[in-house]
Chain A
Amino acid sequence: MSALAPIVWIVAGYALLVALAAAVGVAWRAPRPRWLDQLAWMLELLSAVLAVGALGLVVNGHRPDSLSTHLGYVAAVVVILPVALLSIREDRGSWSSGVVAVAALATGVVAVRIWMTR
């Protein structure tokens, strides 16, 4: 399971970076820039890699203490960002960056929870 550690911390750290960038956008009252969406989709890609890695470990015989909780977190880590980005696809107002901040922060927390429930 230690093989998963680097990607967990990369996802968590990068998620924090995306959340901070989005929070700055809200603070500046600036319309949501395209690059923030690109940062968020990159985080989604990293989250998908994390989810595949976590699922691979389970398939290869690793059994977490609570399998259902662990799988719930694995599903959540890939679902949160796309749902958030779809919900604001027609809105480029500054507050839509706040949605990205919340989703990115939640993705980071869920990534750490995947590590904690391994």
Chain B
Amino acid sequence: MTQVSAPRPSAPGPGPSAGSDRPRSGPHLVLLALYALFILASGSRAIVQIATKFSEAPIAYLLSAVAACTYVAGWFAIRRAAAGRPAFARVMLWVELGGVIVIGTLSLVVRSWFPDDSVWSDYGKGYGWVPAALPILGLLWVHRSPAAKERS
């Protein structure tokens, strides 16, 4: 008598699933969740600030909007990298890290430009420094994960 075993659910592991652009389970899921959260947080923050009190700190509020756009791009970059196309992520995550460092430094050095905080003020202190950690974690993942290796 032949035994028929039930089909097993696909094992979690790195790398894109066969025949699909949808990446399998991996650390990028957590990165994508964090990016989605920061799209929500910085996007809604920028919208409210620009709509209600733009004249109080225009530079800071515009930079919050820039941060929100960067997180949207970062989310797509991580998703593409997880599907085996890491080129955009390699550029975008460095751009994001540069933004956090430049704006974080400016917010400490030229206080008058930032009467109110932007998302990246003080290197993202208002968000527990997660904005500074995110691109670093993303870059580590892109460079180490087999999921983010270029498809041949």
Contact = CB atoms under 8 A, between A and B. Distances in A.
Q: Do A and B come from one complex?
A: yes
A84 B12 contact: no
Interface string B15-48: 0000000001111111011101100100010001
Main secondary structure of the interface of A (DSSP, over half): helix
A102 B48 contact: no
Contacts of B32: 87, 99
B30 A98 contact: yes
Contacts of B29: 88, 91, 93, 95-96, 98-99
B37 A106 contact: yes
Contact of B33 (A68, A72, A92, A99): A99
Contacts of A80: 37, 40
Q: Number of contact residues on A: which range applies?
A: 20 to 34
Contact of A95 (B26, B36, B37, B52): B26
B7 interface: no
Contacts of B51: 68
Given A92-B9, A95-B27, A102 B37 contact: yes
Contacts of A17: none
Residue among B13, B33, B40, B48 with max Cβ neighbours from chain A (10 Å): B33
A80 B58 CA distance: 29
Given A93-B26, A95-B30, 18 more contacts: A68-B51, A69-B48, A76-B44, A80-B40, A87-B32, A87-B33, A88-B29, A91-B12, A91-B29, A92-B12, A93-B12, A93-B29, A95-B26, A96-B29, A98-B33, A99-B29, A99-B30, A106-B37
